[in-house]
Amino acid sequence: MLTETEQKFVDFAGTFRTGEPDFDRNINLKLAHTLRVEALARRIAEAEGGRDEGRKRVAVRAALLHDLSRFEQFRRYRTFNDAESFDHGDRSARLIDELGFADDLSRQEHDAVVVAVRLHNKVAVPSGLPPEQDFPARIVRDADKIDIMPILIDHLKQPDNEAIVYGLRRTSELTPAVAAVLERHESPRYAELKTVADFVAAKLVWVYDLNFQTSKAIYRERRYLEQLLPFLPDGETVRRLYRDASAWVAGSGSPPEEA
């Protein structure tokens, strides 16, 4: 059974359906993604959050709201590509108050939810956040990254919805500038991605932004890296990226800055 806030979110998402199948499947895609991210955040928070029920509650709420603006984004621009529309983390954070999705929380909890939502799609979580904000921000980022993987893999197996890969060119080569960023174990910005190969290869270095052992364990048990490999161009760069990412997830690799 859905909570009151979950039902409110489901009802909100439903207002964006038009009856057009190709459009509505993207609304449904983001709705289903959000509920799975919430469940993943709950799992990670329960394993990593100790006895602090407040931090867990904030992490789960932030996970539910992290993509609040995706529905508006797709309706207005027919894309999920922030570079061609707006920063969906920033916009989602603003919508929380506009739509009253955190009115039942304390001021501290409200602020932590807003920060986590705003930061979930940024390059990194800034250092120096207070613990009550840092924990949920990292939980949401991990849960989001984990759940995007099966969506991407399913698309690669049956590529019939170009919105998932932002309409990027379907070539088998990495863009040299993107390859250079990946070689540093860094995530390229969305605006730098030119091909589907760039988009998929970038997911190999996402593992370095996983913040919790539970998140790494989920990645291992679901074999996401192994499932990505067949859809990447063969070559020394990809083989090295895959090797390093696999070692990191397994707990035997060096941190990116030391690699």
Q: What is the pLDDT of residue 191?
A: 81
> Could you report the per-residue pLDDT of 223-247, keeping only the tens digit for each?
999 999 998 988 899 999 999 999 9
Report the distance separating Cα 233 and Cα 235, nearest Å: 6
Question: Is residue 163 included in any domain, yes or no?
Answer: no
Residues 79 and 175 in one domain: no
pLDDT of residue 76: 98
CA distance 137 to 134: 5
The verdict on residue 156 lying in a domain is no
Distances (CA, A) of 164 to 57, 113, 161, 190, 255: 30, 26, 6, 13, 30
Q: Which domain holds residue 220?
A: 168-258
pLDDT at site 160: 67
> Based on the structure, what is the number of domains in the chain?
2
The verdict on 15 and 96 lying in the same domain is: yes
| Shared domain check, 233 and 107 | no
What are 159-212's pLDDT values in tens digits? Answer: 766 677 666 677 778 899 999 999 999 888 878 888 888 888 989 998 999 999
Please report whether residue 245 resides in a domain: yes
pLDDT in tens, 65-85: 999 999 999 999 999 999 899
**Is residue 255 pLDDT above 60, yes or no?**
no
